Amino acid sequence: MILRAVRLDNIRSYLSQEIQFPEGQVLLSGDIGSGKSTILLAIDFALFGIQRDLTGASLLRHGKEQGSVELDFIVGKKEYSIKRTLKRSKDSVRQSAGHIISDGTKTDLTAQESKSFILSLLGYPPQALKKDSALLYRYTVYTPQEQMKGIIEADPEERLDLIRRLFGMDRYKRIAENSESYAKELRSRVRELAGSISDLSLKTRERDELEKTLLADRKKLEELKNGLKIQEDIVKKKKNEVDELAKKIEQVNKMKQEYSSLRAEFDVLKSESSRMKAAHDETEPKIKDVEQKLSAFKEMKKPESTLQDLSQRIASLEKEEREGLSKIASLETEIASLSKILDKGICGTCRQKVADRDGFKKGIEEKEGEIKKLVTRQKASREQIVKLREDSVSIQTYESKMRELRSLEERKKDLVESISRYRVEITSKQVKMKSLAERINSLAKELKEDSNSAQFKEKQGEYEELRAVREKMAREESTVEEKIRGLNSRLASIKSEISAKEEAKGRMEQYIFYENWIRDFFVKLMGTIEKHVLVSVQQEFNSLFQKWFSMLVMDENMSARVDDRFSVIIEQNGFETEYAFMSGGERTAIALAYRLALNRVINDLIERIRTKDLMILDEPTDGFSSDQMNSVRDVLSELGTRQTIIVSHEPKIESFVESTLRFVKENGISRAVV
């Protein structure tokens, strides 16, 4: 993993800032409080989000409602960009949704989804998602120097537990603890099984006694079966005689039943036949009544015209009548005008005198004659219209009669079909009644000849006496069989119980074996494996620690090593001395050597981690002398990581790093200085 750039908006002392990270050894330089460590916390937040020791309230700038961190980095040969945002609510600062850009594709993710993606991308184990998500990152990439000092001074058991989790060795302890729990469960099962098989010997004796009793009862049952077989033959012979008579009586009874059934069926058919005859008789007068009504339509003649033709003719005549009246009115107007001119002897329009009075009179007479013709024609048309309307009424009456005729014809058809159906059904029932009557007469004759009842009673009595003897023997046999069944059932139950108890005994012995194996061997084996793995890690860790320590502390009278609990043992002038009694520079050297050894061992043992090319050191030289500062240069050179980011305000470090990024803080706002 190589960092490319980080962008901060409203994060602690930063308003808006982008920082580019080159490869190689990079120094983040500036005075104390200039905002250098904030860059490292922002990177931590971008990768893993809010954590127990990295809260949203500690990151979001005071007075701002929201902020964000966006980190560009490379893993392998692929470039990624992740962005996380913070929002202030009424009571807290919480992390909101962000995104990841990969191969140019932006994917919006929740905080948990982003963490899962990063853990998978960096090769961290899946269980890291549940807790300690940044644990490996803390001890392989970025650990604040003071936090490392705290680990060195921590309780040995707590430190050892941390080492186990870092190297995945805590699984041996979990396996051992789970095995102890399982062994405890096995002990509980053994106690339960021991209680369930405590009466095994009693059950075995009961089984033996039941088998003896069962043998005696089976012998008695065999004797009963032989005697019962002889009695069965006698009863069977007598039963055959009774059955023969019973069959004959049964046949007679069946005939009686059949006789009664046939009589009832005959009565039903007779009743239905009478009902059909009554319905037939009621229908015939109805047909005659319909035929009488139909005869009234025989003399009815179909009109020569239709209602539509008459309507058209009436409309034409009425139109002619209106035109005639108009013509008469026009002629009367002309006659009045001519008569006026003739009376005055002068035209009221042109003022000329009438020269031809006879001609005027003739014209008036001609128009009067024309009016008479029109009046005569009007009278004839009115008479014709009246006649046509009378004919229309006749046609309507005819059509109504025709509808009535069709209805009567349909009624006649239905009645004819009904009477035909009645005749067919009457005939069918009469035929069936005749057949039933013949069968009834035949059965009545056979029933008169029955004479088996007395003989049957005699044979039945003999049979019942023999059967009573057989039943007594059968009951005794049944009693013995029931006893044997009970014995068999009890024996099967006892055997099942014994089998289950013997199986439980076998399981108990297995559980005892497993419990002893887990307690005496497996749990110890897990401890041995963990111890061997821990020893191997401790040896390599101690070798690297001593190497880094000797490079950083150039005092021949002082040495340091790491014991089997990863505690630092310091010797000075042949005497052990405590870490707390060391100078500030010596404590820093021990913490840095511990940090570098932890980094190297973890990266060597856990191959899938993809952060091996990156190391971040926060104030790693606090209290160092000038010579120790020179030693730091040698240590960094030997580490050989592709990218090492160092946060320090020591100016000497700038002389041996490849790049320097400077930061200043003015008026409470941090910024990078170009």
Q: Supply the DSSP string of 313-373, one letter for each residue.
A: HHHHHHHHHHHHHHHHHHHHHHHHHHHHHHHHTB-TTT-PBPS-HHHHHHHHHHHHHHHHH
- pLDDT (mean) for 122-147: 70
Most confidently modeled of 255-264, 341-350, 440-449? 255-264
Cα–Cα distance for residue pair 363/10, rounded to 1 Å: 123
Taking the CA of residue 313 as centre, how many other CA atoms within 13 Å lie in the half-sphere pointing to its CB? 16
Mean pLDDT computed over 175-201 = 82
pLDDT in tens, 551-561: 888 778 888 99
Mean pLDDT of 247-258: 73
User: What phi, psi does 108 have (nearest 5°)?
Assistant: -75, 130
Please state, in angstroms and rounded to a whole number, the distance separating the CA atoms of residues 313 and 497: 117
> Does residue 624 or residue 106 have the better pLDDT?
106
* pLDDT value at 506 more than 80: yes
42 three-class SS: helix
Inter-axis angle of helices 523-552 and 626-639, nearest 10 = 130
- 278: tokens are 């009554």
pLDDT computed for residue 160 by the predictor: 78
Q: From edge to edge, which strands make up the β-sheet containing 105-109?
A: 14-20, 2-11, 66-75, 78-88, 93-102, 105-109
3-state secondary structure of 13: coil
Q: Write down the mean pLDDT value for the chain.
A: 82
Residue at token pair 């009951």: 475
The C-alpha angle with vertex 283 and arms to 278 and 288, in degrees rounded to 5, equals: 140
* Higher pLDDT among residues 491 and 664, named by residue: 664
Q: What is the DSSP string of 384-429?
A: HHHHHHHHHHHHHHHHHHHHHHHHHHHHHHHHHHHHHHHHHHHHHH
Q: What is the pLDDT of residues 138-183, one digit of tens each?
A: 777 887 766 777 778 888 887 777 777 777 666 777 787 788 888 8
**For the residues 532-560, what does the mean pLDDT come to?**
85
Candidate ranges 325-329, 334-338, 522-526, 605-609; pick with highest mean pLDDT: 325-329
Each residue's pLDDT tens digit, 85-118: 999 988 899 998 889 999 889 999 988 888 889 8
